Amino acid sequence: MVRTTKQRAAIAEALRRAARPLLPSEILSEAQQSVPNLNLATIYRNLNLLIEERLVASVHLPGQPARFEIAGHHHHHFHCRQCDKVFDIHACSSAISQLAPKGFAVDDHEVILYGRCPSCGPARQTRAARPRQARR
């Protein structure tokens, strides 16, 4: 039986407060304000629990560690190449599932948009070399 612990509450609270998907390390520093000696392993364990309960969803971006957010309705993500933040896109074209050739049964899909977010503004063409995605 699943118990209520202050750790789990703090983790869910951190996610609820955030307007965007968070890294485990971000959840850690956020939640540590209410549970000081909270551990990363506990974060991961609870994230997996919350995901199984479908309360939380994981957001995977190419070449990046997983982020996590409160599960809501179906939506997609926008990844800003400049500031590296991830934003929710609350729009979805149902035509997407029809891209598969016949014979393929599609039950879900995922869309990631890349570009620059409003606060990073339009791309400047006068840049020596665009800062490519950081290696880990």
Partner DNA sequence: ATATGTGCAAAGCATTTGCGGAGAT
Partner DNA sequence: ATCTCCGCAAATGCTTTGCACATAT
Bridge partners for 58 per DSSP: 68
Task: Give the interface segment with its own copies, choosing from 8-16, 18-26, 34-42, 81-89 (CB under 8 A).
Answer: 81-89
Could you say which of its own copies, DNA, none residue 99 binds, taking C-beta under 5 to 8 angstroms by partner kind? its own copies
Q: How far apart are the first and last CA of the chain?
A: 38
Whether 43 and 28 have beta carbons less than 8 Å apart is answered as yes
Could you say which of its own copies, DNA, none residue 93 binds, taking C-beta under 5 to 8 angstroms by partner kind? its own copies
29 is a contact residue toward DNA (CB under 7 A):
no
Considering only residues 44 to 73 of the shown chain, the ones binding DNA according to CB under 7 A are 44-49, 65-66
DSSP state of 3: P
The amino acid occupying position 77 is H
Q: Of the two residues 36 and 63, which places its CB atom closer to its own copies in the complex?
A: 63
Bridge partners for 77 per DSSP: 88, 112
Instruction: Taking each helix axis as running N to C, give the angle between helix 24-31 and helix 6-17, from 0 to 180 degrees, rounded to the nearest 10.
Output: 110
Whether 53 and 94 have beta carbons less than 8 Å apart is answered as no
The Cα 28–Cα 39 span in angstroms is 7
131 is a contact residue toward its own copies (CB under 8 A):
no
Task: Give the interface segment with its own copies, choosing from 2-10, 16-24, 27-35, 107-115 (CB under 8 A).
Answer: 107-115
Point out which residues bind its own copies (CB under 8 A).
Answer: 58, 60-63, 66, 76, 78, 81, 87, 89, 91-93, 95-97, 99-101, 103-118, 122-123
